[in-house]
Amino acid sequence: MKPNLFKFATSELSQDAFILWLLEWANPKCATEDKALHETAQEFIRLLLENTDLEIHSVDCKKQEHHIDVFAIVNEEYALIIEDKTNTSEHGNQLKRYSEWVKGKEQYSELDLHCIYYKTGNESYAKLKRLEENYTKEYPEENFSIITREDVLSVLKQSTTTNAIFCDYVEHLQKIQDLTDSYLSLPIKKWSWEAWQGFYMALEKELQTGDWGYVANPSGGFLGFWWHWNSIASNTDVDIYLQLEEKKLCVKSYQKGGVEKGYVYSSQLIELAKEKNISLVKPDRLRKGTTMTLAVHTLPDTANLPDIVQLLREIENFLDEASQYL
């Protein structure tokens, strides 16, 4: 198997360089060098600008201008600001700061500004939705879009170019996609980090709620998925909610300052679960704190997405009822 450049060039700076390189290929003067790559680069820009009919006459790429990951002027009409992320998330209002800087520069002030969050790693739909809502709320008149790995592959995989750098990038993205989708074909015990991410993304769509991400702890951390919050009847300052810690489904409690009656809630919850024939058991240890694990259920290795969704729906309904008795 031939070495892939992007096995080693894994940083966001490396991806910045690839995007700028591909944008340059959209210039008409590049058509004679590699027509297929040139045409793909033009389709890539149409994807970024959400304009399938755009004729591209010029692309002027700016490298790390004002620390912007990717900044390019298309047709002397459009200003493209791309915040490029692999496995990290947007932070520090980067796109907002870049947008303000571009609008404040006289030479760019009349251009049609397009801000793009370009993400090739996996990220929860909830976080992406919050990012879009926060940006469009503050700048409702501006163009903002999120470009995911699937979006990029839908364009790049159509290309017939044999350019080695280009092919390596497509192969690299496809490998991430295949790992992400592997939860569909592998038993749970063989799921990789990316497979759990793919499963959580599918679960978000199925449940139409929830969020997920890395949760640090002294044991090395895990990928968690949390959702379905309820206040308990006896103390509305205490919430109970569900959290998947990969194979372990947990019923959790939350109370600012610490959960005082967590041991009591746990016992009551287990008894109610027995009455309802719900398979929940006490955790190995009850650790008192702001959050506590009250009960757990371990997913079987043979479970698939429909089976897990059915189980989660049953436990959601049980939790709705149980919260009235705690």
- How buried is residue 14: exposed, middle or buried, by Cβ count under 10 Å (0-12/13-18/19+)? middle
- The structure tokens listed for 298 are 């371990």
Mean pLDDT, residues 42-55 taken together: 96
What sign results for the dihedral spanned by CA atoms 306, 310, 316, 317?
positive
Residue 260 has pLDDT above 80, yes or no: no
Whether the CB-CB separation of 155 and 270 falls below 8 Å is answered with: no
Alpha-carbon distances, residue 236 vs 150, 230, 253 (angstroms): 42, 9, 12
- The structure tokens listed for 199 are 């499963």
Residue 63 has pLDDT above 80, yes or no: no
* Model confidence band, residue 25 (pLDDT cutoffs 50, 70, 90): very high
Q: What per-residue confidence (pLDDT) applies to 169?
A: 98
| Domain extents in the chain | 5-179, 188-322
**Digit-coded pLDDT (tens) for 135-153:** 888 888 789 999 999 999 9
Q: What per-residue confidence (pLDDT) applies to 290?
A: 84
Biggest distance spanned by C-alpha atoms of the chain: 75
Q: What per-residue confidence (pLDDT) applies to 88?
A: 85
Q: What per-residue confidence (pLDDT) applies to 179?
A: 98
Q: What per-residue confidence (pLDDT) applies to 316?
A: 95
Question: Among all chains, which residue has been given the structure tokens 């949390």?
Answer: 226
Residue 65 has pLDDT above 90, yes or no: no
Q: What per-residue confidence (pLDDT) applies to 219?
A: 83
| Coil/strand/helix, residue 117 | strand
* Model confidence band, residue 118 (pLDDT cutoffs 50, 70, 90): very high
Whether the CB-CB separation of 243 and 226 falls below 8 Å is answered with: yes
CB under 8 Å, gap of 24 or more: what pairs does 133-140 form?
Answer: 135/95, 135/96, 138/96, 139/96, 139/99, 139/115
Show Cβ contacts of residue 26 under 8 Å, excluding neighbours closer than 6 positions.
38, 41, 42, 44, 45, 56, 59, 74
* Model confidence band, residue 262 (pLDDT cutoffs 50, 70, 90): confident
Residue from 249, 305, 245, 304 nearest 273 by CA: 249
**Digit-coded pLDDT (tens) for 67-109:** 899 999 999 999 999 999 998 887 767 888 888 888 889 899 8
Alpha-carbon distances, residue 290 vs 47, 245, 261 (angstroms): 45, 18, 11
pTM of the model: 0.91
* Model confidence band, residue 258 (pLDDT cutoffs 50, 70, 90): low
* Model confidence band, residue 126 (pLDDT cutoffs 50, 70, 90): very high
Residue 232 has pLDDT above 80, yes or no: yes
- How buried is residue 320: exposed, middle or buried, by Cβ count under 10 Å (0-12/13-18/19+)? exposed
* Model confidence band, residue 259 (pLDDT cutoffs 50, 70, 90): low
Q: What per-residue confidence (pLDDT) applies to 92?
A: 67
- How buried is residue 292: exposed, middle or buried, by Cβ count under 10 Å (0-12/13-18/19+)? buried
Q: What per-residue confidence (pLDDT) applies to 161?
A: 98
Q: What per-residue confidence (pLDDT) applies to 123?
A: 96
CATH 3.30.43 applies to domain 5-179: no
CA angle 46, 51, 57 (to 5 degrees): 60
Mean pLDDT, residues 22-41 taken together: 97
Q: What is the mean pLDDT of the chain?
A: 92
